[in-house]
Structure 1
Amino acid sequence: MTDPAIPLGEIVLPCLNEARALPWVLSRIPDGWRAVVVDNGSTDGSAGIARDLGARVVHEPRRGFGAACHAGLLAAEAEIVAFCDCDASLDPGAAERIAAPVRQGSADLVLARRRPTGRGAWPLHARAGNLALARMVRRRTGLGLRDLGPLRAARRRALLELGLTDRRSGYPLQMVVRAADAGWRVEETEVPYRPRTGRSKVTGTWRGTWQTVHDMRKVLR
């Protein structure tokens, strides 16, 4: 019998100073799902805003995208877990559609390929870095992916069994590589990609983008 206290799914939202984006992001959480906002050292009141808007808030003092994502995964209770950026560039309302193949048993991991919807949604340097990584992933894993899809879904227990260790920018890539090595069925779908709210902490500049690529390349060695 299903425990009514356990949500249909949970969306892990790594958060570092996203006060402006949080109201829209949390208003888009699908019915039956729960938002797990992982505060990664915000100084703009993000944690309080998220809590006031009904999200479950987890604090991760170790800085790093992977550290925040993994803290959310460890805190999650639902069978299905999705990950989504917390900057309003992606609509968490798509989580149930993305998770459907996992829930139905036809896929083990679903990644959402980003489709830019407006000017500035995906700067040239960020897109170039993503294309370079996608090519490396195809060579390393044989998966025909065109994006590393920050909006993604899988089963919580299976993700924990992958033993993910990266706590920086390489976390999403390590998830894909280890899933491929484990023989997972990995699918790619498509979602709109909006201009983010606020400045990117990772890929807002060429330097930041290529530092991220550098971090991720370590995972492919």
Structure 2
Amino acid sequence: MAIQGTRTEDPGGYTFDDLAVVMGTYNEEEAIGTVLDDIETVTDGRAEVVCVDGSSDRTPEIAHDHGAIVVEQEPQGYGVAVREAVLTPDRPVVVTTDCDDTYPMERLPDFLAEINDGADVVSGDRLYYGAEQMPAMNKLGNELFALLASVLMGKRVHDTTTGMRAYRREILQKIVWTENTGLSAELLMRPLMRGYDVRERPIEYDERKGETKLDPFSGGAAIAKSIVRVALEERFR
């Protein structure tokens, strides 16, 4: 579903040479190699890959071996790592993903095409197809986060906490990002509430490799608080 707003100027013609795929990584040695292989295959090795890493396992070594730029960082939470990741590249299109092999890297061309069509942010909606591989509690929580954000913003969104999105780099640089656990929701809500062209597109979602790092209760509460805080800040900005 497209959520239309004010567009930035569309330079058009972006290719994989203009693309950076970024992620925060923390002890994902089981999956990181597969994710990086998929990115390389889909983009013919032309996309830049940035991993902001606080791992104690072989994740950074595997990322280095695959040609990724690895920014080492003490573990400080999801948002701190991803904020650093999205602000590091100088390529004009930045795609975020997780490193647990849940997101379809074969959709990178589609996301890039949406940016070339004028979108400022393209957000992957994991729930559209049912997200059968997602634990039931997580799925319910994500549906409730989307409902909460929709009510507070007065704009319908379907998946506020997806990890796969494409952004024009200029948008990432213009907005001050403040959240940690709730950064994924903030990265959708602030551009949308400021009138940028934000589009949600259905994506497939696969079973993760490795163990999740987010506690569903404390993490869920932190995300909900972030959604409320960001919505209020943007309304009274």
Q: Secondary structure at the match of 1:220?
A: helix
**Which amino acid in the other structure matches residue 188 of structure 2?**
V
1:35 to 31, 45, 49: 49
Q: Does 1:125 align with 2:137?
A: yes
Give distance in 2, aligned partners of 1:117 and 1:174: 23
1:13 to 17, 23, 31: 23
Q: 1:141 to 1:118 in 2, by over 3 A?
A: closer
Q: Secondary structure at the match of 1:35?
A: strand
Question: Is the Cα contact below 8 Å between 1:162 and 1:175 reproduced in 2?
Answer: no
**Which amino acid in the other structure matches residue 166 of structure 2?**
A
Question: Is the Cα contact below 8 Å between 1:11 and 1:33 reproduced in 2?
Answer: yes
Deviation (angstroms), 1:216: 4.0
Q: Secondary structure at the match of 1:63?
A: coil
Say which is worse superposed, 56-65 or 83-92, in terms of deviation.
56-65
Give distance in 1, aligned partners of 2:30 and 2:227: 28
Gaps of 5+ in 1: 1-5
Question: Is the Cα contact below 8 Å between 2:149 and 2:228 reproduced in 1?
Answer: no
1:135 corresponding residue in structure 2: 147
TM-score, normalised relative to structure 2 = 0.81
**Which amino acid in the other structure matches residue 7 of structure 1?**
D
2:59 corresponding residue in structure 1: 46
**Could you report, residue by residue, the CA deviation over 1:35-92 in whole angstroms, capped at 9, with x for unpaired residues?**
11110x2111211110011111112225111111111122111100010011111122
Give distance in 1, aligned partners of 2:212 and 2:174: 31
Between the two proteins, what is the percent identity of the paired residues?
A: 27
Give distance in 2, aligned partners of 1:55 and 1:183: 33
Deviation (angstroms), 1:155: 0.6
2:190 corresponding residue in structure 1: 178
RMSD: 2.1
Give distance in 2, aligned partners of 1:36 and 1:12: 5
Higher relative contact order (CA 8 A, sep 6+): 2
**Could you report, residue by residue, the CA deviation over 1:92-137 in whole angstroms, capped at 9, with x for unpaired residues?**
23222123211221x2111111156886x21111111111110111
Q: Does 1:73 align with 2:86?
A: yes
Question: Is the Cα contact below 8 Å between 1:129 and 1:210 reproduced in 2?
Answer: no
2:170 corresponding residue in structure 1: 157
Q: 1:209 to 1:9 in 2, by over 3 A?
A: same
Give distance in 1, aligned partners of 2:69 and 2:17: 12
1:220 corresponding residue in structure 2: 231
2:33 to 4, 23, 36: 23
1:188 to 200, 210, 214: 200
**Which amino acid in the other structure matches residue 129 of structure 1?**
G
Q: Kindly tell me the number of residue pairs found equivalent between the two proteins.
A: 211
